[in-house]
Each structure stands twice: as structure tokens, then as C-alpha cells.
């Protein structure tokens, strides 16, 4: 069952978020802090008690198999850009033992339906180059529209 997360889900959600954090630390130890600090854990509270963002989970028999953190973005027009409305998937995680079983797809279907219901015409997310989830996102219909490049000096 895919549903909006509740405060009592925080411990299980943070266990999934830690898996993602560990992946990021392994992929870019020069960028991400090792461990899963109390500050990082409490960041979840913003998604459990807000009108401008939310957390969604897939639960089966009381166990959370996957989760996503989602922001509603309303950007006004600027000298550079037109006004834009979109949903940003800030974090998404499926338990390592539950991957390739449709959990991520069902989370994205929930997010898409919610975006349509609220009048948001697009969903955006970003992914680090080392993360093999890129293939999943592309299979789900996401396309690259911007690239960030870096150079060490």
C-alpha cells in the first residue's frame, strides 16, 4: 500500500534514508558526511508536517519498503526564467532487499497522481552520476534536461 507517511513512520523512513546516505558517502566521500546525524534524521520532520512538501511510503504488513520526500515548487517569473510549477523528488529510497520489485515505480505513480491532482505539470529530480538509479528513472520516463559539470583545480 502506497500512502502519505505519518510521524510514527519516522524510524523506518530514516533507516531507508540512511541507506541512501551511505550510498552517497561511498560514491562521493569528498562531498557527503559519513554517518547519519541527528540533524539529518530530524530533517524528515519537515516532510511529515507541512503543506509545501510531504513524504510517501510503500508499506507491506507494517514494514516500510520504500519512501520518497517530495517538495511542491512554485517559482515566480524572473528576468531569466518564466514562472514554473513542479514537484521535486528530493529523496527516494527502496530497501536494498526490495529493489526491482516495483516499489519505486509505485511510489512514482503516487507522486504523479498527486501532482496532477494539485495542478503541477511536471516532476523533477536529480541524481548523482555514480548512482545506478539513473537507469530506473530513465525507464520511468524521466529525461535529462540539465547537467552539472565539475573540474578539480
Closest by CA position to 41, among listed 14, 13, 71: 14
CB 57 within 8 A of CB 64: yes
CB 74 within 8 A of CB 96: no
Residue 55 within a domain: yes
What is the CATH classification number for the domain harbouring 36? 3.40.630.30
CB 98 within 8 A of CB 44: no
| Local structure of residue 52 (DSSP, 8 states) | S
Residue 113 within a domain: yes
What is the pLDDT at residue 79?
97
What is the pLDDT at residue 132?
85
Q: What is the pLDDT of residues 131-149, one digit of tens each?
A: 888 889 999 999 999 988 8
Residues of the chain with pLDDT under 70: none
Residue 147 within a domain: no
Residue 105 within a domain: yes
Instruction: State which residues form the domain around 105.
Output: 2-139
Tell me the C-alpha distance between 108 and 140, whole Å.
Answer: 8
Q: What's the domain count of the chain? A: 1
Residue 144 within a domain: no
Q: Which pTM was predicted? A: 0.93
What is the pLDDT at residue 88?
97
Amino acid at each position: 500500500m502506497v500512502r502519505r507517511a505519518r510521524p510514527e513512520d519516522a524510524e523506518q523512513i530514516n533507516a531507508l534514508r540512511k541507506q541512501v546516505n551511505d550510498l552517497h558517502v561511498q560514491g562521493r566521500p569528498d562531498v557527503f558526511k559519513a554517518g547519519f546525524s541527528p540533524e539529518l534524521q530530524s530533517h524528515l520532520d519537515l516532510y511529515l508536517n507541512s503543506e509545501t512538501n510531504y513524504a510517501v511510503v510503500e508499506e507491506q504488513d507494517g514494514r516500510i519498503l520504500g519512501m520518497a520526500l517530495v517538495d511542491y515548487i512554485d517559482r515566480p517569473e524572473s528576468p531569466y526564467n518564466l514562472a514554473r510549477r513542479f514537484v521535486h523528488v528530493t529523496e527516494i529510497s527502496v530497501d536494498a532487499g526490495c529493489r526491482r520489485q516495483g516499489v519505486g515505480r509505485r511510489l512514482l505513480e503516487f507522486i504523479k497522481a498527486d501532482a496532477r491532482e494539485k495542478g503541477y505539470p511536471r516532476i523533477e529530480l536529480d541524481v548523482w552520476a555514480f548512482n545506478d538509479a539513473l537507469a530506473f528513472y530513465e525507464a520511468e520516463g524521466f529525461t535529462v534536461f540539465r547537467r552539472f559539470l565539475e573540474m578539480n583545480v
